[in-house]
Amino acid sequence: MRIPSQSSIIDLRNLVRGYRHLPELRRPDETYLWEIWQAGRRIDKKDTLLYGRLYLPTSTLEALYLRRISPSRLLRLSCVSDSALPNGGSILAQLQNDHAKYSTEYLFSTDSCLMGVRGLYNFGLDPRTIPRTTTPRGNVIPTDPQFGRLSAGAELYFSPLNKSGGVSTAIRFTTLPSHTGFPYTMALTLNPLMGNISSSYAVKAGSDVALSSRFDFNIYSYESDVQLGLELWRRKPLESGDTLPVEDTEPPALQESVLENKLTKDLLHQNNFQEVDSVFKARVNQHGKIGVLWEGRIKDLLVSIGADLNLKRRDNIIGSVGLEVSYSS
């Protein structure tokens, strides 16, 4: 799989959680299109991704295994090894089925023997039945694009060891790329057993600015919480002649990833754009608690610095400070 793995060339927008535009629903490929035959034998292989991450100095180890079983089915295994966890760690298995119009997910966790099922349904046109056209760049889009999408989902989980379970439902409306105004997303989540209601609204106010708000309420305790958030991206100009080194000793897939990255940077330079350099995030609630976070790249390192502030505690305004440094090659 041609996925950039070097921390020096990974696009920060793929690492930082923030506002993202949802694309048009894409019709899943037919299974026979993925088949490769040679001399009467099927020789194609299923895409597989292995990922690992070690946290120092706690020696916490994360592992991830992904396997594409079919064009619409994905198997995911997540593992965590930590002496502070019960039994020294846990394993989470997920089987995801994406049929564009609707999707389902089944999960099992060794922690409390938790079992669950999730479902999502997208209202509107079905990409599996509507005609599509191909753009000059090779992108496949529907002939009658939608300006927004309304989705509804639910999840149900149960633990036989704890003899407890839960259920939650949610609806979401988001604008799509064909929308000519400011992109925005609205969501409402309800957990009837716990009595929690959460609503959120996020808007992309500019190319590098996103604003959001969230309101949480519990019908049993009448407790509420209001939060406002800000996301501000910083870009740096692309210098003329800016290139990325390509060594002959690197695997072909990695060389292609570096070349693709260089072509992307050249294209951005030609269109007078700037590549993403860092992002600053901030949030505040009605209790005067503030959270700030900066994430960016320093040389070949990915750095995150954050802090929690409490304006009502004059004696100790800074509650906690965190630093994370990541590197991959």
Whole-angstrom distance, CA of residue 238 vs CA of residue 262: 11
- In this prediction, residue 323 carries a pLDDT of 94
- In this prediction, residue 241 carries a pLDDT of 54
Model pTM score:
0.76
- Strands of the chain, DSSP E: 37-38, 41-42, 48-55, 60-70, 73-81, 89-98, 102-109, 114-122, 132-134, 140-142, 148-159, 164-175, 184-191, 196-203, 209-218, 224-237, 274-285, 289-298, 301-310, 318-326
> Running along the chain, 329 residues long, what does each successive block of 10 average in pLDDT?
76 83 83 80 85 88 94 94 88 95 95 93 84 59 74 95 91 91 95 93 92 94 92 78 43 41 44 72 93 92 93 84 90
- In this prediction, residue 270 carries a pLDDT of 40
- In this prediction, residue 235 carries a pLDDT of 86
